């Protein structure tokens, strides 16, 4: 079986780290900045960064509706931190005016932006992760948490009794940044989701 072509949204945020992690996890990654690139990928990673900025750039680059349409059509996706925020159905504290994070409706969840605090409140923690044998070392940077999930959403991990990793069908999201740790198990899980092995 050939490696799945997985796009990484490369408008803002830590796209390089995800591209490297996906390569190590057995995918054929591609930076996505234009509609033509989005059209060639089997799945999409939405990286960490600043959710209102990424949302604004999705609109500026005419990618917001195409990404929403692909998600609605069943495209697998993985969102980390800001990516989790964007994949939500509803975003609490989404910003104001033109600088609002716009939900992509990829997962039936309500997410609170920057819920764990500001940059100075960033932290690391080992977490049990459903489906993985050993705990995941999770790095939280101005991280969101999930306030509410719909009936079809599987909760995969919690930190401080808050939901920080979820899956709904072929869409995965984490509050934390596995791409910065060297542990590729979350990315391998996503590759397996894309290829239908998980």
Could you give all domains of the chain from N- to C-terminal order, each with its CATH number? 5-195 (3.40.50.880)
Can 177 be counted among the known catalytic residues? yes
CB 58 within 8 A of CB 142: no
pTM to 2 decimal places: 0.95
The residue annotated as part of the active site, out of 18, 81, 124, 147, is 81
Closest CA to 79 of 165, 17, 182, 146: 165
User: Is pLDDT above 90 for 118?
Assistant: no
The residue annotated as part of the active site, out of 17, 18, 56, 179, is 179
Contacts with 122 (C-beta within 8 Å, 6 or more apart), sequence order:
116, 139, 140, 141, 142, 143
For 35, phi then psi, to 5°, come to: -60, -40
Rounded Cα distance, 3 and 29, in Å:
9
pLDDT tens digits for range 53-94: 999 999 999 999 999 999 999 999 999 999 999 999 999 987
Contacts with 127 (C-beta within 8 Å, 6 or more apart), sequence order:
135, 136, 138, 157, 158, 159, 164, 165, 176
Q: Which helix (H) or strand (E) holds 29?
A: strand 28-32
For residues 111-125, average pLDDT? 81
Question: CB-side exposure of 124: number of CA atoms within 13 Å?
Answer: 7
How far, in Å, are 65, 75, 98, 152, 164 from residue 192 at the CA level?
A: 26, 14, 37, 20, 20
User: Is pLDDT above 90 for 1?
Assistant: no
What confidence category does residue 121 fall into, taking pLDDT thresholds of 50, 70 and 90? low
Can you say which residues are annotated as belonging to the binding site for L-glutamine? 49-51, 113, 141-142
Closest CA to 176 of 120, 130, 126, 103: 126
- Give SS3 for 140: strand
pLDDT attached to residue 61:
96
Can 124 be counted among the known catalytic residues? no
What confidence category does residue 114 fall into, taking pLDDT thresholds of 50, 70 and 90? confident
Can you say which residues are annotated as belonging to the binding site? 49-51, 113, 141-142
Closest CA to 171 of 102, 105, 91: 105
For residues 33-59, average pLDDT? 95
């Amino acid at each position: 079986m050939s490696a799945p072509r997985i796009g990484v949204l490369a408008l803002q945020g830590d796209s390089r780290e995800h591209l490297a992690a996906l390569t190590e996890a057995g995918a054929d990654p591609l930076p996505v900045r234009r509609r033509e690139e989005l059209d060639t990928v089997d799945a999409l990673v939405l990286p960490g960064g600043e959710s209102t900025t990424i949302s604004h750039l999705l609109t500026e680059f005419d990618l917001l509706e195409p990404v929403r349409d692909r998600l609605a059509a069943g495209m697998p996706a993985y969102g980390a931190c800001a990516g989790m925020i964007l994949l939500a159905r509803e975003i609490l504290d989404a910003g104001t005016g033109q600088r609002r994070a716009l939900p992509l409706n990829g997962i039936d969840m309500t997410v609170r932006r920057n819920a764990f605090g500001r940059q100075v409140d960033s932290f690391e923690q080992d977490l049990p992760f459903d489906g993985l044998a050993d705990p995941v070392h999770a790095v939280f940077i101005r991280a969101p948490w999930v306030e509410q999930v719909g009936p079809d959403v599987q909760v995969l991990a919690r930190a401080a009794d808050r939901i920080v990793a979820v899956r709904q069908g072929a869409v995965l999201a984490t509050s934390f940044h596995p791409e910065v740790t060297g542990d590729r198990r979350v990315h391998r899980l996503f590759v397996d989701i894309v290829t239908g092995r998980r």
